[in-house]
Amino acid sequence: MSRMLSLRVILTVILLASCGLAQAQAPTGVDSLENVVKSSDLPDSVRLDALTRLSGMYQFVNFARSVKYSEDAIALAANTDLPLHKIKAYRNAALLYTISGDYSSALRYDNLALELDMVVKDSAGIAQEYNAIGNDYYDLGEYDDAYFYFTQSHRMASAARDTLRMLIALHNVGRVFKELGQFDQALDHLQLSKKLSETQNDQEGIPYGLYEIGDVLLRKHEYDSALATLRQALALVRKLHVDIIEPKVLSTMATAYLQQNDYKNALAFYDSAYALHQKTTNRYGMAEANLGRGIVLTKEGNFEKALEKFEASLSVARTLNARVLEIKAFNQLSGLWEQKGDFKKALFYYKQYKQLEDTLFSQETQGKLLRDQIRFETESRDTQIAALSQLQVMQRGELKKQEFVRNILVVVMALSAILLVTVYRSGQRRRKINTLLLQHQDDMEKRSEELERLNQVKDKFFSIISHDLRSPINALAGLLDLIDKGAIEPAEMHKHTQELKVRFNHTRTLLNNLLDWTLLQMDKLSLQAGRINLRKIVDENIQLLTSVQNKQINLVNQVPTEAIGYADSNTINLVIRNLMMNAIKFTNDGGKVIIDAKAQASEWLFSVKDNGVGMKPEVLNMLFDKTAPYTTRGTANEKGTGLGLILCKEFIEKNGGRIWVESEEGQGSTFFFTLPKAD
């Protein structure tokens, strides 16, 4: 299902209503506003407000007219210097594009509104636009970016004590967890935001919470509970006239009936959802409903009509850049052609499905989400620490005050020697206890930081393993399944075997890098420095890489025979191999990679130079950052994790050298590192 767009609509409608922009349909008001629009004697600000108000009035009455007024408002706003009126026009346009399912265009106008909110320094508007942009990325399947903007909205709302925006942000974070399959975390956020809606008397927020909770229960295969929750949501939607989410609730209920093999009800609910999406020309919603119809038709054995629905849904998904919907369409087409016995087409669509799914849920995306999640979940902990620090300052002030009073009493009661000694000893004991408490607190903080660092290493390790090991295993499983069914000719086996070979070579390199990287992070890797022949190491790696790489890359060893360094041979061998593999990855077929070394005073300057695609200046500063490994696909679509260069940096530094890179986009790259000379 697509995102719960009405949560963004709540804020838009509230703000429009506060300015008189969301009034109910009233003929007299409409006529007056249309007269204002036609008048050329009135200021642009008045006409711009009138156009925006008219667009809002017609949103659910005459959608085409609403779009026309919005376009006129945007055109007029472009020729004015009225930032607040422009913001209203941009928000209204983004809302209309969202209703129609064009999320890329909605994102464009939400970003324009955000830029102006930052210019006028409207913190409430910035928080609102962060939430809107998060929704746009959510609809486009960019869940890492969606999570970032939702949490940014929550931070700003929390700082401003804006409870409504805080609960909306929590709700949206729960939706991201839902799409990532983290259902328990999703339910925690969604139930909390629903409870806040109830306590804050936010009546319209309750059906949104019920809908998303029902969707999570459906994905957990708790069909009866899911349907009961969705029926509650549908009843409230119709009671409160929250028309926007009604087709989404209907589609989700249809999916629940489909899972229970109740095809009649499933098709009826999908048809109802499709009809409602048609009213607002929501192409995404109609494509999603068509996908559901196609699944029902496939279950009933009507393959030809099902194929029409799937292909129509796929076409719209590609037009709107809706990657989640595109993944679902590829998956259904693969299954359909397999049932029809055309295994070649089934394999084609399966590869498209896996490739897009791997891209959408890549290790880089998971890593970014993990970092954002840690920052968001520790935010409340930081607030508590700040409060404890403030309390500690107050306590210290109180101790100083007590000490001052005590000293006065000592002066006044100078003759009371016994009492003076008692007070003095009491103060000493208090200081000692406070010192011990502060030492204990410092020890606990250090242990907490160490545990968090080790936990991050573990999470990073397993997130990479869970993604990059899955791809070759899934590919092998798919190939074995097709071989078992007799769908692959003997002549095609070589091609598929080569593809699997490339995947497993990548996985083997990944495992070696991961294990070495983990040993480094845990300080378990010991180095044994000695004399190493750099030219011999390069020759061995050229022989190894020539046998496994598919490109026709010319590897040239210009390292002099007298190049003898003093370092750990195993780690330097890994560094040279990683740099050579990196150069091959970003060099086009037929290119050249030159490995050289030059003597400089007491060290060797080693270089790996390629004539590949090169890098932009802003990328150079990101390559060796171990807090956020940077990676991109090679010239032959090779994948990576970003750990190779981080390992190179740490290994070189542990061997007493330095590493850096020089590159120009389109002209290739040269990686340098230094090593001590052997005596």
Contact by Cβ (8 Å): 346, 337? yes
pLDDT at 367: 46
Summarised one tens digit per residue, pLDDT across range 234-277 is 898 888 887 778 888 998 998 989 888 898 998 899 899 898 88
pLDDT score of 639 more than 70: no
Residue 433 has which token pair?
């206890």
Q: Which residue has the tokens 């697509």?
A: 2
| Greatest mean pLDDT range, 19-28, 157-166, 189-198 | 189-198
Number of neighbours of residue 58 by Cβ within 10 angstroms: 19
pLDDT at 569: 87
More confident residue, 307 or 51: 307
pLDDT score of 612 more than 80: yes
Question: Which pairing describes strands 668-676 and 659-664: parallel, antiparallel, or unpaired?
Answer: antiparallel
pLDDT score of 26 more than 50: no
Number of neighbours of residue 650 by Cβ within 10 angstroms: 20
Confidence of residue 23 (pLDDT cuts 50, 70, 90): very low
Q: Directed axis angle between helix 83-99 and helix 44-57, to 10°? A: 20
pLDDT score of 197 more than 70: yes
pLDDT score of 571 more than 80: yes
Residue 484 has which token pair?
């078992």
Give the single-character DSSP code of 658: -
Q: Directed axis angle between helix 123-139 and helix 143-159, to 10°? A: 160
Taking CA atoms, 538 is separated from 65, 542, 656, in Å, by 70, 6, 20
Q: What percent of the chain has pLDDT over 90?
A: 13
Taking the C-alpha atoms of residue 471 and residue 535, their distance in angstroms, rounded to an integer, is: 36
Q: Does domain 529-676 have CATH number 3.30.565.10?
A: yes
Mean pLDDT of the chain: 78
Phi, psi of 671 (to 5 degrees): -100, 130
User: If we measure between CA atoms, which residue out of 53, 102, 101, 65 comes closest to residue 244?
Assistant: 101
Give the mean pLDDT of 281-303.
Answer: 87
Summarised one tens digit per residue, pLDDT across range 212-221 is 898 899 889 9
Give the mean pLDDT of 155-173.
Answer: 83
pLDDT at 278: 84
**Non-local CB neighbours of 625 within 8 Å, separated by 6+ positions:** 646
Give the mean pLDDT of 30-51.
Answer: 75
Instruction: Note the Cα 366 to chain centre separation in Å.
Output: 7
Taking the C-alpha atoms of residue 123 and residue 569, their distance in angstroms, rounded to an integer, is: 56
Contact by Cβ (8 Å): 175, 324? no
pTM for this prediction: 0.47
Summarised one tens digit per residue, pLDDT across range 515-558 is 666 666 666 667 788 999 999 999 998 988 887 677 788 999 99
pLDDT at 21: 36
Candidate from 17-31, 99-113, 405-419, 429-443 with smallest mean pLDDT: 17-31
Taking the C-alpha atoms of residue 506 and residue 529, their distance in angstroms, rounded to an integer, is: 29
Give the mean pLDDT of 27-50.
Answer: 72
pLDDT score of 17 more than 70: no
Taking the C-alpha atoms of residue 428 and residue 404, their distance in angstroms, rounded to an integer, is: 14
Q: Which residue has the tokens 């319209």?
A: 204
Taking the C-alpha atoms of residue 62 and residue 332, their distance in angstroms, rounded to an integer, is: 35
pLDDT score of 674 more than 70: yes
pLDDT at 459: 62
